[in-house]
Structure 1
Amino acid sequence: MSDMVRDFRIDIPQTALDDLKTRLAMTRFPEKEPVDNWSQGIPLAYVEQVAEYWRQSYDWRRCEALLNKYSHHMTEINGLDIHFMHIRSPETTARPLILTHGWPGSIIEFMDVIGPLTDPVAHGGEAKDAFHLVVPSLPGFGFSGKPVETGWGAEKIAGAWDILMTRLGYDRYFAQGGDWGAIVTSAIGVQNLGHCAAIHINLVVVGSPSEELLKNPTPQEQAAFERFAYYQTQGGGYAEIQRTKPQTLGYGLADSPVGQMAWIVEKFQGWADGAITPDDSFDRDHLLDNVMIYWLNNAGTSSARLYRESFGNPNIDPVSLPTGCSIFPDEIMTPSRRWAEQRFKNLQYWSEPEQGGHFAAMEVPDIFVEEVRSCFGSMNL
């Protein structure tokens, strides 16, 4: 295994962008849904509107230039190329922090928090809040390599992230994540290989509630049970498809940009804070930037395979590492603190912000930054 870190620059061929426009122009749409809401999926009128904007107005080169302002690299870990951004803070006392995205997100989720986290003084903060950031693309996602063998689940990724951080010279670091990033970050806590000092997560995955909690739930806990039950019956179909038949799903995602866009963007409506359409919570260009990371890398299938690897039987082993949790109100799972403490045995920070959903770093970046600062700033480490 090579431990070389190679420089990388994003440079998408114009032929790929021309091909995208041709495919968008030739899209065959289904009929309109027989309801006047999103209950059967993303509505036809909205998809047609976004597809036309994507074809006529969206500018990938703007996004590419924005991404290339930062330092991108590749390194091989366990036989797979891992892409990551590495943004060092100007502050000499900055702490190393690895930020991990999830599905259907990407490194795009963190674009609005990079500045405040690496250079807090320039963004109204204090030097003590500075971090050196490492922002990788999950295996099979974005510009990272695509596993050709099974086994690249959350635990293997967690081990790879530890190799990545130590390879960059960070013998002591912090870790943060949401969605799959939270599952990987929690696995870093479970493994506790001696380098990670503390973790912060904004999707708190725990085991079944204790018998006592089930017998006497608080109103908040009862609401959390009902919310997750709704997700399982009405919102989790995508996960079951990706867990069971990612290859079959992938043919449609690889061939149709509108299919890939709709598969992703629907979640930015359903998991945002009270959004009627995704545009209520996110900039449309920002949404399409994220879709492009999947489309241009043909990553619909390879990203879905993470569900095959880890979704059916997630690791819920105890975590003794210092942990912080931020429970945003429109998150998929919103466990109570006493429920979370069943798994996270060293829970040092707990917060329930008043705004935000599943994609907190992208939806409410200012609040997300404050949560990360407050979490790690409150720990005497």
Structure 2
Amino acid sequence: MDQDPIGHGAGIAIERRGFAMNGGAVQEWSLPVDAAALQDMRRRLNDRRKPKVARPGWTEGIEADYLDRLCDHLAGPYCWSEDIERFGEQHLMVRARSTGHRLHVTLPVGKVEGAKPLVLLHGWPSCSFEFVHVARHLVAQGMYPVLIDLPGFGFSDAPAEPMGPRSMAACIAEVIGEGLGFRNAIVHGNDWGSTVACWLAIDFPRMVTAIHLSMMGMRPRFDGSARPPGDSEQQWIKVVQKRLAADAGYREIQATRPNTASAALADSPAGLAAWIAEKFHGWTTEQAVENPLVGMDDLAAIITAYWLTGSIASANWVYTAGRRRDDTGAPPGGTGSTPVGFSFFGGGFFPPPPRSWAERLHHVQDFRIHASGGHYPALTNPRALAEDLVAFCEQLD
């Protein structure tokens, strides 16, 4: 869908938290506490079969001892029904008109006078819980964070077919424009959420005031008129290509054999934990570091959300959709005149790019690089990310 949905926002029925909402599209909702599913997860974890052989360390995947500790934590002291209290007190299901998909949205409780909505979009293998710490910092600064599970992720509805980031952007645009009634949203994206944010800026510029990214969600297309990459850009491209060659097996599996991977991940919480936790470690710190930077309770929450919803299959589909239609190549003009801010954190899957690379696609207003934090800064360095977001929003006023 290439049309801005703002014009279809008539029929606003209810007013909450300072923003107009379409009552027909919005339902109050609560995070589920499925005792039977949680008990089944704990039983499977306690009865798990461990690999007969495993290489020590993290260089060949999940570290066996760490996985044992994580599984024992999930099966023992971790309590989902108590932990969900920290994930916001106002949860909604908001329906997209054109597709019928319901997306899970978390809003802060209480009206924040004069605050613009700041939409936070996660990536894979994550969910909106990724931003719980950042949201707390933002609310303390008088901002209004809006956390959304991407279509097929977390507690949002799964699509009937693999959905790429541009289609996700159209779905989210309807949710925030028609359902929530937002007219001037700022959008932050990480991982796949950064690509979705770019498409929101491209396809819905009247709705999106600005975007802020912690990863390059798009790449430039080089044609006869494009300036060739400079030395620093060429060096960065080589590093990225080397990393992809060494650590892109999961992408190929999920793009080409999603059913096979999903059958195993949906049936084994230990396998699910391994598949997810290995990425949160490998993309945030050096492989030689014993313990991941992401807290075990944060990981446990994300893994439990995937287990309760069975959404790992539909989340993995984003790679299948990318194989069918690559939405990461930027159209001519990139994101146009929309102001764009960047916060990059060292130790991630990709190193921070040169500013010149970002300026090929974006109207860069703010560009910041932090020494550490990796690919999931909202979990590993939330204060720094929140401060960057506040500073960027203040520049726009």
Same-fold status (TM-score > 0.5): yes
Partner secondary structure for residue 74 of structure 1 = strand
Corresponding residue for residue 170 of structure 1:
182
> Within 5 Å, which residues of 2 pair with 1:171-320?
171-207=183-219, 213-214=228-229, 216-218=230-232, 221=233, 223-274=235-286, 276-277=288-289, 279-310=291-322, 313-315=326-328, 316-317=330-331, 318-320=334-336
Q: Distance in 2 between matches of 1:48 and 1:306?
A: 29
- The alignment status of 1:159 with 2:170, answered yes or no, reads yes
Partner secondary structure for residue 199 of structure 1 = strand
Q: Distance in 1 between matches of 2:217 and 2:185?
A: 22
Higher mean C-alpha displacement, 191-200 vs 247-256: 191-200
C-alpha spacing 1:209/1:337, structure 2 compared with 1 (3 Å): farther
C-alpha spacing 1:146/1:206, structure 2 compared with 1 (3 Å): closer
C-alpha spacing 1:201/1:286, structure 2 compared with 1 (3 Å): same
Normalized against structure 2, the TM-score is what?
A: 0.86
Corresponding residue for residue 70 of structure 2:
50
Corresponding residue for residue 124 of structure 1:
none
Q: Distance in 1 between matches of 2:205 and 2:221?
A: 28
Runs of 5+ consecutive residues of structure 2 not aligned to the other structure = 1-7, 9-22
Q: Distance in 2 between matches of 1:88 and 1:25?
A: 38
Q: Is the 8 A contact 1:99 1:133 kept in 2?
A: yes
Q: Is the 8 A contact 2:154 2:309 kept in 1?
A: yes
State the Cα distance separating 1:327 from its structure 2 match.
1.7
Structure 2 counterpart of 1:11, one-letter code? P
C-alpha spacing 1:209/1:140, structure 2 compared with 1 (3 Å): closer
State the Cα distance separating 1:280 from its structure 2 match.
4.2
Partner secondary structure for residue 251 of structure 1 = helix
Q: Is the 8 A contact 1:269 1:278 kept in 2?
A: no
Corresponding residue for residue 356 of structure 1:
373
Q: Distance in 2 between matches of 1:207 and 1:148?
A: 28
Corresponding residue for residue 76 of structure 1:
95
Q: Is the 8 A contact 1:41 1:266 kept in 2?
A: yes
Q: Cα RMSD over matched residues?
A: 2.1
- The alignment status of 1:29 with 2:47, answered yes or no, reads no
Structure 2 counterpart of 1:286, one-letter code? D
* Partner of residue 323 from structure 1, selected from 328, 335, 340: 340
| Number of residue pairs the alignment of both structures matches | 364
Q: Distance in 2 between matches of 1:360 and 1:30?
A: 32
C-alpha spacing 1:280/1:332, structure 2 compared with 1 (3 Å): closer
Q: Distance in 2 between matches of 1:149 and 1:100?
A: 21
Partner secondary structure for residue 113 of structure 1 = helix
Q: Distance in 2 between matches of 1:32 and 1:226?
A: 34
Partner secondary structure for residue 345 of structure 2 = coil
Normalized against structure 1, the TM-score is what?
A: 0.89
